[in-house]
Amino acid sequence: MTVTSVNSTTASSASTEKAKTSLSDLDQGDFLKLMLTQMQQQDPFNPMDQTQMLAQMAQFSTLASTTTMSDTLSTISSKLDTLVSAQTASQNSLADLVGAVTGTSDTSGTDQTTTG
């Protein structure tokens, strides 16, 4: 009986993955692969301590949550920046319009007069 599909599937999936060059590129899938490999390679007579494994999982979960929160806050910050710049532009346009109607100077300092 020949079993070649298991090895060929593993090799093909590994070749299609993007190369990860730093620790910041690692994600939850990489952590799970590392943990499964660690569990498969452990000594059956001296297994890994469950408290250590749970501590590693909790640390990774905390890191993933912090990363997600950071991404969300960055998105909110960029949207607020866009909103503030649009509001400033709107206020400047309104000041120019009011200045043009009343015949006062606009925000650039030049006199505006109404034409009739």
| Residue 57: predicted pLDDT | 82
| Residue 12: predicted pLDDT | 45
Q: What is the mean pLDDT of residues 2-16?
A: 47
| Residue 71: predicted pLDDT | 93
Q: What is the pLDDT of residues 37-58, one digit of tens each?
A: 888 888 888 877 788 878 888 8
Q: pTM surpassing 0.85? A: no
Identity at 34, one-letter amino acid code:
L
Helix (H, G, I), strand (E, B) or coil at 51: helix
Q: What is the pLDDT of residues 12-27, one digit of tens each?
A: 444 445 666 766 677 7
Please name the residue ranges forming H helices in 1-116. 5-16, 28-41, 50-102
- Alpha-carbon distance of 91 to 81, in angstroms, equals 15
